[in-house]
Amino acid sequence: MHADSDPAKAEAFVGLNRYQKEEKMNKAYLEITIKVPAKDRVKAGAVYSKYKQPFLATIPGAESKELLIREEDVQVLHGFDSQASAESYLKSALFGNDVVRELKPYLSADPEVRIYERQ
């Protein structure tokens, strides 16, 4: 029997693969809720798009970043490997010098910032 067709080995591989996926799941979320007038949403969305890849590529512990839009506000949900990584991002140059600076003209209120830990 060829090793690749051994059902026991296949099941062990699937179990290992499932375990690896669970290990990479976000353990903390940074939720930033911002109020952006409808006329400025496209511009604010462009800021999100511009910094998504640098966030994922350069911020330690960053795992995901999603844009959630509702009529009353916009949320950016950041996934991290830990609460400490989320807190560090808020102190980073990318966040403070780039993202905040570029979004500021489009905000109609101060952002709401929350960090959640996955249990």
The enclosing domain of 103 has a CATH number of 3.30.70.100
pLDDT in tens, 67-112: 999 989 999 999 999 999 999 999 999 999 999 999 999 999 999 9
Identify whether the C-beta of residue 55 lies closer than 8 Å to the C-beta of residue 65.
yes
* 6: in domain: no
* 72: in domain: yes
Residue with tokens 């979004």: 103
Domain limits for position 84: 26-117
Identify the residue with better confidence: 50 or 1: 50
* 34: in domain: yes
- CA R_g for the chain: 19
In whole angstroms, how far apart are CA 2 and each of 11, 57, 73?
Answer: 15, 40, 56
